[in-house]
Amino acid sequence: HQTIYLKDYTPPSFEVLSIDLTIQVHDDHTLVHSKLVMQRLTSGDLTLCGRDLELLNISLNGNVLTPDDYNIDPEQLIIKNAPDQAEFSISVKIHPESNTQLEGLYQAGNLFVTQNEPEGFRKITFFPDRPDVLTVFTTRIEADKKYPTLLANGNLVEKGDLPDNRHFAIWHDPTKKPSYLFAAVIGDLAVLKDSFITMEGRKVALEIYALAQDLPKCHVAMQALKDSMKWDEDVYGRPYDLDNYMIVAVSQFNMGAMENKGLNIFNTVCVLADPEITTDPAMFYVKSTIAHEYFHNWTGNRITCRDWFQLCLKEGFTVFRDQSFSETLQSAAVQRIDDVSSLKSVQFAEDAGPLSHPPRPDHFVEINNFYTATVYDKGAEIARMMANLLGPEKFRQGTDEYFRRHDGQAVTVEDLVDSLSDGSGVDLHHFLPWYSQPGTPCVKGTGHYDASAKTYTLKLSQSTAKRPNYPEPQALPIPVGVALFDKNTGEQLQLQGNALQQNGVKDGLFVLDQAEQTIVFEQIHTEPVVSLLRNFSAPVLLDFAYSDEDLAFLLANETNGFNQWQAAQMLLERILLQGHDPAVYLDAIAQALPQVADTDALLASRLLDIPSESYLASRIDQNFNPAEVHEKREVLLKALADKLKTYWAQAYQALPIVAFEDNSVEMGKRAYRNVVLGFAVRANVEGALDWASQQYDNAVCMTERLGALRQLVWNNAPDAQARLEDFYKRFKHEDLALDQWFAVQAGNPKGNVQLARQLMQHQDFDWSTPNRIRSVTGHFAGNPILVWTQEGMQFYTEIAKRLDQQNPVLGSRILQLLSRWYTLAEPMRSEARTILQALKGQVSSSSVCETLNNLLKA
Ligand code: B3K
Ligand code: ZN
C-alpha cells in the first residue's frame, strides 16, 4: 500500500462542469451510466478514480474508446492525450447487493444507500474522486416499483413509470459539490414531514425517511433539526440554501451519520429516539448528531476541504459548532464535562501512543483511518481556543469573513486561520502549529504568594513529548483560563488594573506561548488559591503544584460546575495514579455533593465521575498492570460508597420514578438516580439490589430500565437472569434496544471473553450490522482487565481478521482498541507483540494493515 503525502498535493488537471448520472438498480447487479463534461485546467493526464467497477464501455466526444486509448488498473483509469474539452460517456456494472464494506452504493436489507466520504464514489463510477473537484449533479434513478422511494441530492425534477413494473426519478442539485457529498437512496420508506422558514424567507421542506415502524421515533430528530437551523442563523448568520432537507435512517452504517448535500444519511442510532428504547445520553447524541450534520452544510459542504489532509478544517470546526449548540440544550457546564471527559479518555490516549498524529496529518496510507478523535475533537479544541480568544463578536467577524471569502470553494486550514485573522483584526497565525504538531502538551507550574509584597507569582512552563518522525516540538500558544480565590473566604478576587494588562491576562485568559513564563499578580491582599485551565481552556495536561487541600478548596468554591469537576478529577488522578491518600477527596466530595444534588442533579451525577480504567491506562506509559489499576479504582469506589452510605439511601428514596419528561432537570434526576443506585449497591445498602429490580420493573423509560439492569447484571444479582430475559422479550424487535442488551452483558466487569464470544454466537448477533458488532466489542473494551489477557487480545485480532475483507473500515477501528499494548508489563507485553505479529500475514486491506503496522511500531 502506498503512502500519500500532504506535500505532494497538486491541483486537478481537469474540472468537471457537470455530471449526468443514471443508476439502474436490479436484483443481482446495478448499472451506472455517467456523462461527464470536463475542461482542462492544467497540463497533465486525465485521471479518473475507479475501484471494483466492471467497465462496460467508454466513449470520448462521441468516439468509443478502446483499451489502446487508456491505461486502467485496479484504482484508476488514465486517458492518454485527452483533449482540452472532453465529454465522456461511461457505463459500469457494480454489485451493491454483495457490498459488505458499506462504502459506495450498498444494499442494507431492503434499502440501497450510498456512503461516499471519503472515497466511496469511485466504487460507483469512474470520476475524479477528490474533494477539490466540484460539479453539478443530475441523477436519474431507475428501480423496480417494490422500491417506491427513489432519492438523490437536490430537487426532484421528474418521475414516472417504466416498462416491467419499474419506475424512475430525476433529481437535480443546483449547488456544485464534490463527489463525496453525492447520495442516493432506493427503498421502501415512510416519511415524516415538517418545514422551516429561513431568515431569508425560504420555506424548506424537511423530511425524515425511515421504516414505517420507526416513523414515530423521528420526532426528536425533527425538532433538533429545526433547532439547529435556527441556531446557525442566530449564532453564525447562516441560513439554509435549498428548498428541501432530507434525512434517511439506515441500520447498517459504519459510523454515525453523513452530511451529503441536502440528503443526510444517518445510522438509525443517531436519528431514532423514543424514551422507551433510547437512554437520555443516546437521545442527546441524536440531537447533537443532527446538529453536527446540519452544521456541515456551511462548514463542510458549501466550504469544503481542498484535500483529505484538511479533514479537521470541516470536522474540528463542525464539532466545535455542535458542542456549542449542545451547551444550549443542557447545562453548559455538563456539556463541557462530557466533551472534555471524552477528549481526555479517547483523544489523549490516541495521542500518547503509536497512532498519534497531528490534527492535520501530513501523510497517510488509508484516509479512512484518520476519522479520529484527534482530527475531530482536538480539531474542535483548536477552533474553540481561537473563538475564546477572540470573544463572540470578533469571532463572528472572523467566521463571516471565512464564509464570504470561500463560499463554493475547497480550502485549507490556512484559509480558515487567514479569514479569522483578517475578519477579526486579530492575528491568529501562531495557532497554526497546533494543527501540525502531534502530542498533548503538558503545562507545569508553581504559585507563590508574597504576603509582604502583596504579590502572587505564577510560573508556568510547557513541554510536549517528541514523537518519532516529527520535528522537535515547539512551544504552542496555550490559553490558560485563570482566576484567584480568597483562601479564607472562598470569594473570587477581582483581577483588574495595569499589572494584569502588562502580564497579558485578558478576560481571565493568559496565553502561555513560551517554554516558560512568569505572571505576577499585584495588590493581592490575602493569600489566594489559583484556579487554572478554567473551562478547559486548552487541550493540555496540567501538572500544577497544588496541594490536595487546594484542589478540595476548588471543588468547594469554584464558581462553575466544570471547574469543580476538573478539581475533583485532578484529586482523583493523584489518588489513582500517584497513591495519594483519598481522605481529602472523600471529605470534600461528601461535603459538596448533597448541596449540588439539590440544585443541579445533572451536575451531581458527573461530579461522581471516577476516571475510567481506560483513561488511567492512557496515563501509564510502561509496566501497566491492568489488575492493579482495576483494584485501586475498586477500592476507591468502595471507600466513596461507604463514606456516603446513609446519604445514598436517602437520596435514592427522594428520587421516585415520575412520568417521562425530556428536559435537563428531569434528565439530571434520572442520571443521578442511576449513579446513586450504583453506589448504594456498592455500599451494600440493605435492599439496594431489590431497588434495582423494582426500578427495572417500574421503569417508564430506557434510562431507568437499563440503569437498573446494569446494576443487576454487573453485580450478578439473583434477579439478573430473569430481567435479562424480560428485556430480550420486550425488545427483541427493536434493534437499538437489543444492542443495549448485548452491550450490558458484554460490558460486565465480572464477565469474560467466553461470554463475549457466546454473545457473538447468539441468533440475533449480526456480522453485517456494525452497531451490533460494536455493542459487544466496544463495551467489552471498557474492561482492560479482560482485554489485556491472551484470550482478550486474540478475541480482537480474530475480529479484525474476519472484518479485514468484509468491512475493513470497521475492522481497523476495532483493532485500534489494542493500541496501548506496548505499555503492558512483561510477560504480557511480549505476548501482545506475538499476537499482533501473528495477524500480520493474515490481513491485506489498506485500513487494517496501516493500523497494524502502526501498532507494531510502538
Ligand atoms: N463526515 C462523516 C464521516 C465520514 C467517515 C467516513 N469513514 C460524518 C461526520 O463527521 O459528520
Ligand atoms: Zn462531521
Among 226, 417, 395, CA closest to 325: 226
What confidence tens digit (pLDDT) does each residue in 709-743 have?
A: 999 999 999 999 999 999 999 999 999 999 999 99
Report which protein residue has its CA nearest ligand 1's atom 9: 258
**Residue with CA closest to ligand 1 atom 10:** 315
Positions annotated as catalytic residues are: 293
- Are the C-beta atoms of residues 142 and 186 closer than 8 Å to each other? no
Query: In sequence order, what are the residues at sequence separation of 6 or more whose Cβ sits closer than 8 angstroms to the Cβ of residue 441?
Result: 462, 463, 464, 473, 476, 478, 538, 540, 541
Whole-number Cα distances in Å, 302 to 50, 235, 338, 631: 25, 18, 30, 51
CA of 528 to the centre of ligand 1 (A): 46
Could you give the domains of the chain? 1-188 (2.60.40.1730), 304-436 (1.10.390.10), 442-538 (2.60.40.1840)
Residue 707 grid cell = 440503569
Residues 192-248 pLDDT 10s: 999 999 999 999 999 999 999 999 999 999 999 999 999 999 999 999 999 999 999
In the sheet with 516-521, reading across from the earlier edge strand, the strands are 516-521, 455-463, 442-450, 541-544
Residue 255 Cα, ligand 1 centroid: separation in angstroms? 7
Residue 439, pLDDT score = 97
- Residue 824 amino acid letter: L
**Residue 493: strand, helix, or coil:** coil
Q: Which residues line ligand 1 (CB under 6 A)?
A: 117-118, 255, 257-259, 292-293, 296, 315, 368, 371, 809
pLDDT at 346 > cutoff 90: yes
The ipTM (two decimal places) reads 0.99
Query: What is the 8-class DSSP label of residue 544?
Result: E
Confidence of residue 506 (pLDDT cuts 50, 70, 90): confident
Residue 504 has pLDDT above 90, yes or no: no
Ligand nearest to the CA of residue 370, numbered in listed order: 1
- CB under 8 Å to 364, separation ≥6 — which residues? 3, 4, 308, 309, 370, 850
For ligand 1, the distance from its centroid to the CA atom of residue 258, given in whole angstroms, is 5
CA of 385 relative to ligand 1 center, distance in Å: 23
Atom of ligand 1 nearest to the CA of 300: 1
Using the predicted structure, report yes or no on whether residue 497 has a pLDDT greater than 70.
no
CA distance 462 to 439: 12
Nearest CA to ligand 1 atom 2: 258
With the most atoms of ligand 1 within 8 angstroms of its CB, the residue from 101, 119, 258 to mutate is: 258
Indicate which atom in ligand 1 lies nearest the CA of residue 259: 11
Give the side-chain half-sphere CA count within 13 A for 431.
29
Q: Which three cell numbers stand for residue 647?
A: 446519604
Q: Which of 740, 808, 806 is nearest to 779 (CA)?
A: 740
Contact present, 250 and 317 (Cβ < 8 Å): no
Burial class (CB in 10 A: 0-12, 13-18, 19+), 735: buried
Q: Would you say 60 and 69 are in contact if contact means Cβ atoms under 8 Å apart?
A: yes
Residue nearest to ligand 1 atom 1, measured at CA: 258
Which pLDDT value is given to residue 17?
98
Spatial distance between the Cα atoms of 471 and 735, rounded to a whole number of angstroms: 48
CA 558 – ligand 2 centroid, Å:
34
Residues 375, 411: contact at Cβ < 8 Å?
no
Best of 321, 371, 377, 851 for a ligand 1 pocket test (most atoms within 8 Å of beta carbon): 371
Does pTM surpass 0.90? Answer: yes
Cell 501540525: give the residue.
Answer: 436
State the average pLDDT over residues 186-192.
Answer: 98
Residue 12 backbone dihedrals phi, psi, to 5 degrees:
-65, 150
Cβ count within 10 A of residue 252? 22
Per-residue pLDDT averaged across 393-418, rounded?
A: 98
**What CA–CA distance (Å, rounded) separates 116 from 692?**
45
Best CA proximity match to 580, nearest among 566, 591, 570 = 570
Report the atom number in ligand 1 closest to the C-alpha of 256.
8
On the question of pLDDT at 498 being above 60, the answer is no
Contact call for residues 190 and 171 (beta carbons, < 8 A): no
**Residue 499 reports pLDDT greater than 70:** no
Has residue 159 got a pLDDT over 80? yes
Farthest-apart Cα atoms in the chain, separation? 95
482 strand-pairing partners: 532
Beta-bridge partners for 455: 450
The closest residue, in CA terms, to atom 8 on ligand 1 is 258
- Ligand 2 centroid–CA 248 distance in Å is 16
360: Cβ contacts below 8 Å, ≥ 6 apart: 6, 309, 310, 311, 312, 313, 375, 413, 435, 436
Residue indicated by cell numbers 493540555: 540
- List pLDDT tens digits, range 1-48: 999 999 999 999 999 999 999 999 999 999 999 999 999 999 989 999
Which numbered atom of ligand 1 lies nearest the CA of 376? 10
